[in-house]
Amino acid sequence: MASKLLLVLHSHIPYVKRQGRWPFGEVWLFEAMAETYIPLLRNWNRLQEEGLSAPVTISFSPPLLEQIRSQYIHRQFVEYLHEKERLALEDERWYVSQSDHEMAQLANYYYRFYQDIRRDYLVELDGNIIEAARRLQEAGQFEIITTAASHAYLPLLDRNSLKYQIYWAQKTYEKHFNAAPRGFWLPECGYFQGVEDLLIRYGFKYFFVDSHALEGGHPCSVFSGGGDEPLLVEAEPFVQTGLSTYCPYKVKNKDIMVLGRNAMVSQQVWSADSGYPGDPRYREFHRQSHRSGYKYWQVTDRFNSLDTKKCYNPEQAQQLTQYHAQDFIRSIMSTGHEAEAMGYPEPLIVGCYDTELFGHWWWEGIDWLDTVMRGFIAEPELDFTLPSQIPDELPEAQVFESSWGMGGKHYVWENPETNWMWDIIRRANREFEALEIWPSAPEMRRQTYRQILRELILLESSDWLFMVSNNLTRDYALKRFFEHYSKFTRLVSVFKSGNYTESFLQWLNRIQLEDDLLDDL
């Protein structure tokens, strides 16, 4: 019997449209588009053209969908690609003038990369990432799912905010894919008992949790986001259940499927210490040229200072992806054999990753993933599967409150650094619920009410909490958090008073342009 790999890629970028460009803001989105989403779609299109099938489950967060479908983002992204090409040519000329031919070759390598990305985006994808993904879903290569409206950390929200986050996620998906979503990615794998009731209410058929949510034991935490060091927190082990992520389940007494992330498979790819991305020969993410922002160095040694890094060698790194892909395939086969020995004749192996790991954080990850997909196709002991292909008759499981963050619960998002942020979020929730609006209300009043809800949803984004907790662009996160809250409070004040001055209307027009997430709200 073949082991079945259920590969899940979770795609999300904070809502950065018209919120600054460099070094924080739209550049995050453009980097992910150029280095991850477009290369990923290109590779899956090639597999399809070759008659090969490697189906994958992929989520697109509502903020990501709303941004990449924007004509403004389209224009700015093409401009960004031209700028990257120009900077690479300037670097190449500079290095040639310094007789540094190795670095000049690297600069030319980057020039060709971004030139190819611009061609692929405009010609092969017709400038439409969402449509390209939709076609792959129709062809059975993708099973696209959604996540919370602003990628909020759901276990700590009140019920009304949960409803808004799930309802508007569903509506955004339907708008972009002309179909109802079946699966839901819990942001940060944040689960609490009762969230499945809302998922069922809005028609969802399955969701994902971390391994300890089903198996118990000691959490094997994922740290995504590229920071230098994760938070350190003492993790108490969960009660061992005797269940396994090798099997899908129905939540106890509920008609919804839960799938558990395989800790070993995920850690092998994620970890900078023991996983593939930390290999000394791969490209170093954190050191970049002060002139162009390009990264010309390899990891070399993770524990040495950035100025000791050696020059990056793309050809050597490319060869290494082949070796690591084969190692991963052998590891999956070994895992499958162990699962069979434990009594799972057709074990399900669920690998969950942030999509942006491949290409953006781990430059070589796209090539590694392509090689893995092709290797799986060629291996008779391995097969791909999708959640929709899993039979309905399943055993039941009680699921623990959990996340994939450090400590296995909520600490990364609620801790002494962020408690005051949750106080503000909860106060804003109560203020919003106290507002009343009628269908017959004047249009300006209804516009104000809708913008209040947008600002509340954006305020709840898990991104601001995560950045503050891990000191990742902390100042930017605080700036965004306070901006959304100050907009929220001014909108609420005018909504209550009805004092729609000319200056307020001009300001409202501006923030409706800035914060136009869920524009059909």
Strands 206-209 and 183-185: parallel
| CA 327 vs CA 9, 26, 269, 298: distances in Å | 20, 36, 11, 21
Which residues are CB-neighbours of 417 under 8 A, at least 6 positions away?
468, 469
Q: How far apart are the first and last CA of the chain?
A: 48
Question: Which residue's structure tokens are 């509920």?
Answer: 254
Are the CB atoms for 447 and 512 separated by under 8 Å?
Answer: yes
Please state, in angstroms and rounded to a whole number, the distance separating the CA atoms of residues 152 and 312: 37
Question: Cα-flanking dihedrals φ and ψ of residue 395, to 5°?
Answer: -70, 165
186 close to 147: Cβ distance less than 8 angstroms: yes
State the CB neighbour count (10 A cutoff) for residue 209. 27
Tokens for 379, please give them. 């291996």
The number of residues in the chain equals 521
**DSSP letter assigned to residue 237:** P
The residues with which 397 forms a beta bridge, in sequence order, are: 251
Supply angle C-alpha 219, 224, 229, rounded to 5.
Answer: 85
CA distance 184 to 166: 9
- Are 491 and 455 a contacting pair, CB within 8 Å? yes
Do residues 285 and 312 touch, judged by C-beta distance below 8 A?
no
Q: Catalytic site residues?
A: 188, 354
